[in-house]
Amino acid sequence: MPVHAEQSAVTVLGLGPMGRALAAAFLNAGLRTTVWNRTPGRDRKLVAQGAVSARSAEEAVAASVLTVVCVVNYDAVNTILRRETVTEAIKGRTVVNLTADTPDRARDTAAWASEHGVRYLDGAIMTPTVTIGTPAAVFIHSGPQDLYHEHQPVLQTLGGTHTHLGEDIGRAAAYDIALLDIFWTAMAGYVHALAVARAEGITARELAPFAKGIGDILPPIFEGLADDVDSGIFSGEGNPLTSAASSMAHIVHTSEAHGIEAGVMRVAEGLARRAIGRGHGADGFTRVTELLGRRS
């Protein structure tokens, strides 16, 4: 989809590592790119590549019909955009907010934007900085579909895949939270495994290829478990909860025997045993999703 002349300008607010990567991708695509950051000096390399350095956030947002925001959280977004002079400058223009935060805060920001005549899309970046501008980048978006399609040509210059998840403005943030839940839970498990392995005389490098093997078997497992949860089957064929709880107990025992904190695994085992106590011992670990949804 070509970028038309009237769409050839974009502003990037926030020049942390990801913001700089976004701005660089826009520049590489030939877009006139204006940049601004609360901390001065981060735009030097981008300016050398052809970016326009704005003296203020007001000047930055006034320079383009589309402003992409990527800062640390929505507190920072609000500090920048909800200043009266910035709000006035951005009225009638489009903000694509790629800042990570929560679904409720995305909806709050969208409500503020609507009240002040700002066109608003929310989104999230699901891959690291090195992927930006390459086919490996992954972006998700939510909000008005017509607004997304209007700016899709510019957004696609960031590379990779772009998926519009629906009109609910908080949907991209909800996906982001769920996917980061997977990532950080996995990272917590990995560093814990490295600590246990080291205590048993196994180096991280020795464990790494076998850890990769565990990672490689997860995608098809995720696919199958998703079907189980959506259908409400919670199949335990091949690995019932009773077996899962037993292996978790072994991890807890070995960890604590070495003086290694095992709180995360204790929680997981506790959830499995609660489900077993409710008569679901023959079910799979996905039965815990139902348990987690209970308020009692």
| Second-level CATH architecture of 5-167 | 3-Layer(aba) Sandwich (3.40)
pLDDT, tens digit (0-9, with 9 covering 90-100), for 49-71: 999 999 999 999 999 999 999 99
Distance of CA 115 to CAs 8, 104, 112, 162, 169, Å?
27, 17, 5, 27, 15
Domain ranges of the chain: 5-167, 203-292
Which superfamily, per CATH, for 203-292? N-(1-d-carboxylethyl)-l-norvaline Dehydrogenase; domain 2 (1.10.1040.10)
Q: Check residue 293 and give its pLDDT.
A: 81
Spatial contact of 274 and 296, defined as CB atoms under 8 Å apart: no
Per-residue pLDDT of the chain (296 residues; tens, 9 = 90+): 555 545 589 999 999 999 999 999 999 999 999 999 999 899 999 999 999 999 999 999 999 999 999 999 999 999 999 999 999 999 999 999 999 999 999 999 999 999 999 999 999 999 999 999 999 999 999 999 999 999 999 999 999 999 999 999 999 999 999 999 999 999 999 999 999 999 999 999 999 999 999 999 999 999 999 999 999 999 999 899 999 999 999 999 999 999 999 999 999 999 999 999 999 999 999 999 999 986 54
pLDDT, tens digit (0-9, with 9 covering 90-100), for 243-294: 999 999 999 999 999 999 999 999 999 999 999 999 999 999 999 999 998 6
Q: Check residue 184 and give its pLDDT.
A: 96
Concatenated DSSP letters of 260-295: ---HHHHHHHHHHHHHIIIIITTS-TTHHHHHHT--
Angstrom distance (rounded) from CA 27 to CA 34: 10
Instruction: Kindly give the residue spans of alpha helices, DSSP state H, lying in the chain.
Output: 17-28, 44-48, 57-62, 74-81, 84-90, 103-115, 145-155, 171-199, 204-231, 241-257, 263-275, 287-292
Q: Check residue 8 and give its pLDDT.
A: 82
227 three-state secondary structure: helix
Angstrom distance (rounded) from CA 96 to CA 113: 11
Q: Do domains 5-167 and 203-292 have the same CATH topology?
A: no
pTM above 0.75, yes or no: yes
